[in-house]
Chains A and B, each alone.
Chain A
Amino acid sequence: MVLTALAVVRMRSLFAVVMLSGIFTLLSALLFVTMDAVDVAFTEAAVGAGITTVLMLGTLALTSRHERPTARSPLIPLFVVFVTGAALIYGTMDMPNFGDPTAPAQTHVGADYIARTPEEIDLPNMVTAVLASYRGYDTLGEVAVVFTAGIGVLLLISGLRRRRRKDEDNEGSA
């Protein structure tokens, strides 16, 4: 996966970049499966490899297919990236080991949801139970965000076409 990401950095052909990002998403979906997150892997594979790639290709068709090399030196971004990375890695030093059952993340609400789902919700899929019931407000908010983003795209792309056509009509009649 790191290799794919690095290849994205080097590539100039945007078509190849988009394809590589699709591969990247599929690999990450596999990683989610190995980390027991089947629902997440499912979504990632459907969304990342399907919708995102189609949308990016659509954008490429509307814009250009090659990247122009930039004249700026990469030193300052590299410096920023290394400092941020070092700070984040320093931050992980205090974190519990990977898969530690006594980690703080496992002992509070997570364990509570697992223990209470059979009695209160009585559904086998805990992810659905938490998503729709215990965290119903969150999901309502997320749906509202998706809704707003959809409206935004429609306003940006399809609404304007109508206005332009009207403008042209006005010009034609004037």
Chain B
Amino acid sequence: MTSEFFFGHLNYWLFIILMMTGLYIVVAKGNLVKKIVGLNIFQTSVFMFYISIGNVTGGTAPIFPLDMKIDPDVIYSNPLPHVLILTAIVVGVATTALGLALIVRIREEFGTIEEDALLELEHEIARKVSDQHGEAMGGRHSGD
């Protein structure tokens, strides 16, 4: 492993560490708002990964001079990842808003935004439902 290889790949590794931090928050934390924050961190590190792929050493931002006198020696960064990520950011905030709206509704319906408490509630509801159905079934059987 040469030092050139190491420093050439260090940025990817840092983004992966960030990505995994976000993933850890999503998987391990029970609070739904925190999960959304973790998802955002994950998302942002994927964006950075894309942009770093489009970067060119010695390049500049992909904007021509205003008078369109283009100097062929100037190297521009790849505009394609920029476009993809630009739209992804705005879509990302819209989906984040959707997730937050879901959280607000969950809180109104169940009074909590902790995953554990929600799971307990869900089990309770399932138990109640099965109790009711069990009685109904039992009643029919006894009628036979």
Contact = CB atoms under 8 A, between A and B. Distances in A.
A binds B: yes
5 contacts: A44-B47, A88-B19, A99-B8, A105-B80, A156-B102
A35 B29 CA distance: 32
Interface residues of B, number: 89
A107 B54 CA distance: 11
Interface residues of A: mostly helix, strand, loop or mixed?
helix
A126 B79 contact: yes
A40 B105 contact: no
Contacts of B66: 124
Interface residues of A, number: 90
Given A63-B103, A153-B101, A156-B101, A56 B33 contact: yes
Interface of B: 4-5, 7-14, 16-25, 27-31, 33-34, 36-38, 40-41, 44, 47-48, 51-66, 68, 70, 75-98, 100-105, 107, 113-117
A2 B41 CA distance: 10
B17 A2 contact: yes
A60 B36 CA distance: 12
Contact of B91 (A2, A36, A37, A142): A142
A170 interface: no
Contact of A59 (B7, B65, B78, B103): B103
A101 B73 CA distance: 14
Nearest to A1: B18
A153 B91 CA distance: 13
A174 interface: no
Q: Nearest 9 CB-CB pairs, A to B? A: A97-B8, A99-B57, A149-B94, A110-B78, A77-B28, A142-B87, A77-B27, A36-B77, A126-B62
Contacts of A44: 44, 47, 89
Given A37-B51, A146-B94, A8 B25 contact: yes
Contacts of B113: 63-64
